[in-house]
Amino acid sequence: MAVKACIFDMDGVIVDTAKFHFKAWQRLAESLGIPFTEHQNEQLKGVSRVDSLEKILAWGNLELNSQKKIELMELKNKWYLDFVAEVTPEDMLPGTFDFLKSCNEAGVKIALGSSSKNAILILEKLQIIHFFDSIVDGNKITLSKPNPEVFLRAAREMELEPTECVVFEDAISGVDAAKSGGFRCIGIGDPQILSKADRVVESLANIHLSEL
């Protein structure tokens, strides 16, 4: 079936902010005395802020009350936003702008499917928000990836079926979400980590719309 829309995850697909999430979570984990590795970080990619904190606390066998958890999430987000403040269109990952442009020129719709509550701010900083027909972010969904809600909602907002859309993801949880929602999924990153994707490429510079 011809592709009618591309649904992009944001962090790690469109923009190199995944490293900022990692640094901010690592700083938080260290402040709590919890070791935190890049391998563990793979399990946080695509996962909501609250679910990420719960995973880190579980790794450290730490139980905290809900007020303390809110404070920690605010602190992590503050550190993360300090990095985001420096984001410019230069931080877009390779191929992003050209891929969005080719979708636009071919009449293929464009959506965002991100768990982040900071998505609109970042799309504005990248100066690409005008490309998007639908933006589904962490403020609109109740169930985090690997639940397919974020992508199903994007398809619904565009009045399309999952089979008419292709999802682009850099996270294991995001690939799982796309596949369980009935979408084709292109992984961005390491083929060994994203083995459940239909195809894996290094970046959007390594794939053309005509290949979908």
> Min. distance of Cβ 151 from ligand G6P in angstroms?
12
- Cβ-based nearer residue to Mg ion, 114 or 134: 114
- The yes or no reply on residue 91 touching Mg ion (CB under 5 A) is no
Give the one entry of Mg ion, ligand G6P, none that residue 52 binds, where binding means its C-beta sits below a cut-off of 5 to 8 angstroms depending on kind.
ligand G6P
- The yes or no reply on residue 45 touching ligand G6P (CB under 6 A) is yes
First to last CA, the chain: 10
Give the one entry of Mg ion, ligand G6P, none that residue 21 binds, where binding means its C-beta sits below a cut-off of 5 to 8 angstroms depending on kind.
ligand G6P
Active site residue 176: no
SS (H, E, C) 58-87: HHCCCCCCHHHHHHHHHHHHHHHHHHHCCC
- The yes or no reply on residue 12 touching Mg ion (CB under 5 A) is yes
- Cβ-based nearer residue to ligand G6P, 115 or 128: 115
CB proximity list for 96: less than 8 A, separation 6 or greater: 13, 14, 15, 128, 204
- The yes or no reply on residue 52 touching ligand G6P (CB under 6 A) is yes
Q: Which helix (H) or strand (E) holds 134?
A: strand 134-136
- Cβ-based nearer residue to ligand G6P, 3 or 111: 111
Q: Running DSSP on this structure, what letter comes out for residue 15? A: B
Return the residue of 3, 20, 48, 158 that touches ligand G6P, per CB under 6 A.
48
Active site residue 133: no
Q: Is 92 helix (H, G, I), strand (E, B) or coil?
A: strand
The CB density around residue 60, as the number of other CB atoms within 10 Å, is 14
Q: Which helix (H) or strand (E) holds 50?
A: helix 49-59
Return the residue of 11, 91, 149, 169 that touches ligand G6P, per CB under 6 A.
11
22 is written with which tokens? 């990692």
Residues 106-135 that bind ligand G6P (CB under 6 A): 114-118
34 Rama class: left (phi>0) / alpha (psi -120 to 50) / beta: beta
Give the interface with Mg ion as residue ranges (CB under 5 A): 9, 11-12, 170-171
Active site residues: 9, 11
Give the interface with ligand G6P as residue ranges (CB under 6 A): 11, 21, 44-49, 52, 77, 114-118, 138, 171
